[in-house]
Structure 1
Amino acid sequence: MLSLKVSGMTCGGCINAVTRAVQSQDPSAKVQADLATQIVTLDTSLSADQASQLITEAGFPVSN
């Protein structure tokens, strides 16, 4: 399980975009996002760096 702080998510569409970005490399990944805290929790085989890069490329900056 990974937890990442993801900026810029404001709606369900944003969550869908983040989910699609992660699942493009790990189709079985499970993604949960909390818009209030901007925390995305991932159950994935990807590393934190890989997931962060994919989410950032989708337009949502990841911070520590």
Structure 2
Amino acid sequence: MNQIFTVEGMTCGHCEKAVTQALLAVDSQAKITIDRLHNTVQVESEKPRDALAQAIAEEGYRVTV
């Protein structure tokens, strides 16, 4: 399932790495695409949306959608 999140606060490569690692901890098979310019994180995963959003939030980023 392809899921798109709007994430506030990602400003650098370190931010992308932190979000990617958090998502992979929830689903090691997830395919992740991050677009900092548009503040979006696209995740192809069968895991529940809430679990993925929580992983991002636990890294300190605000998930708005």
Q: Give the structure-1-normalised TM-score.
A: 0.93
Q: 1:55 is matched by which residue type in structure 2?
A: I
Structure with the larger helix share: 2
**SS at 2:56's partner residue?**
helix
Q: 1:59 is matched by which residue type in structure 2?
A: G
**SS at 1:59's partner residue?**
coil
Query: Which consecutive unaligned segments of at least 5 residues does structure 1 have?
Result: none
Aligned residues: 64
Structure 1 stretches (4+) deviating beyond 3 angstroms? none
Displacement of 1:13: 1.0
Q: What pairs with 1:29-48 in structure 2 (closer than 5 Å)? A: 29-48=30-49
Query: Which consecutive unaligned segments of at least 5 residues does structure 2 have?
Result: none
Q: 1:56 is matched by which residue type in structure 2?
A: A
What residue is the counterpart of 2:8 in the other structure? 7
Deviations 1:2-61 (A, max 9, x none): 000001001111111001001012111111111111010001121111110010001111
